[in-house]
């Protein structure tokens, strides 16, 4: 490959796993794209990648825009490779992490899905593309599993009423369903934004465990051990009830932080009013 002046046998061997996903011409372009991704760019783009590999820009554009290949087949092949390797295979002590991420596109005018919306990496609103992603994480390993693009309601006729529109929670549910059975993990983890009732209920109905923060302004519907009825409880009141009435339901665990120190966390699971 011209970008390095020579081929890299190990990389070529790895890429052969994807040969069944492409025609011969497509495979040659796919290989070129992967090689191009190893180069540092001030601003990555198809034009920059084409110049780095001394390839006609139109060929790059055609490969991504018009060439017919199956993205789902590529995803399946990648996960099969990960699951077959002992050093990368998911383990039951890991977690399925779900969150959204964004790619800033401040100058985009006609890019599909690029709208003024919250951009996770910037922690503020910006014109960007957003996707909901799933990843595997354990103390020993972590890797991306899948990402599904999120298209704002403004991209669809009739907005949120359009049957093709999917909000981020619906996409998160789809990701959970896709990988709940095919990948080993002990539970699902997500931030407080995704702790929506329909997502929590869906996970519970599937018999799975979830971990999440809970915002202080949320209401939790559960059985009140003092009032003897099912009612909505604020998180601060729930903490008091846990200490007094559900202390035997809590399991204290310790996780190592990135600097190697141990940080204590308590884990309690309350679902639909039952501890």
CA distances (Å), 213 to each of 44, 88, 90, 100, in order?
35, 28, 24, 16
Would you state the pLDDT for residue 63? 94
Higher pLDDT, 4 or 250: 250
Distance separating alpha carbons of residues 106 and 18, to the nearest angstrom:
34
**The pLDDT of residue 210 is above 50:** yes
Angle, to 10 degrees, between the axis of helix 168-179 and the axis of helix 197-205?
Answer: 10
Would you state the pLDDT for residue 255? 62
What's the token pair of residue 98?
């779900």
Alpha carbons within 13 angstroms on the beta-carbon side of residue 16 total 6
Element (H, E) at 11: helix 9-15
**The pLDDT of residue 271 is above 80:** no
Sequence spans of domains, the chain: 1-69, 214-275
**The pLDDT of residue 149 is above 60:** yes
Would you state the pLDDT for residue 249? 76
Task: Yes or no: say if 196 and 169 are a contact pair by the CB < 8 Å rule.
Answer: yes
Q: Given the structure tokens 């922690």, which residue do they identify?
A: 123
**The pLDDT of residue 257 is above 70:** no
Alpha carbons within 13 angstroms on the beta-carbon side of residue 141 total 16
What's the token pair of residue 209?
């465990």
Parallel/antiparallel/unpaired status of strands 210-212 and 187-190: parallel
237 C-beta neighbours (distance < 10 Å), count: 13
């Amino acid at each position: 490959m011209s970008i390095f002046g020579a081929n890299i046998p190990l990389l070529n061997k790895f890429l052969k796993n994807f040969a069944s996903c492409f025609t011969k011409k497509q495979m040659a372009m796919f290989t070129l794209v992967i090689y191009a991704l190893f180069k540092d760019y001030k601003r990555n783009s198809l034009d920059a990648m084409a110049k780095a590999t001394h390839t006609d820009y139109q060929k790059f554009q055609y490969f991504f825009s018009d060439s017919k290949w199956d993205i789902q087949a590529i995803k399946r092949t990648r996960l099969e490779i990960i699951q077959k390797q002992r050093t990368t295979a998911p383990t039951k002590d890991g977690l399925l992490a779900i969150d959204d991420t964004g790619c800033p596109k401040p100058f985009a005018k006609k890019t599909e899905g690029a709208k003024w919306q919250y951009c996770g990496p910037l922690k503020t609103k910006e014109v960007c593309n957003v996707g909901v992603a799933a990843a595997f994480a354990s103390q020993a390993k972590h890797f991306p599993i899948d990402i599904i693009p999120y298209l704002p309601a403004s991209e669809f006729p009739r907005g949120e009423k359009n049957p093709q529109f999917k909000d981020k929670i619906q996409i998160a549910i789809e990701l959970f369903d896709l990988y709940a059975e095919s990948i080993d993990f002990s539970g699902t983890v997500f931030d407080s934004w995704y702790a929506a009732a329909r997502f929590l209920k869906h996970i519970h109905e599937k018999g799975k465990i979830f971990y999440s923060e809970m915002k202080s302004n949320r209401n939790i519907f559960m059985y009140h051990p003092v009032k003897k009825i099912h009612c909505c409880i604020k998180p601060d009141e729930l903490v008091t009830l846990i200490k007094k009435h559900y202390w035997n339901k809590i399991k204290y665990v310790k996780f190592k932080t990135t600097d190697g120190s141990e940080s204590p966390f308590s884990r309690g699971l309350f679902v639909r009013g039952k501890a």
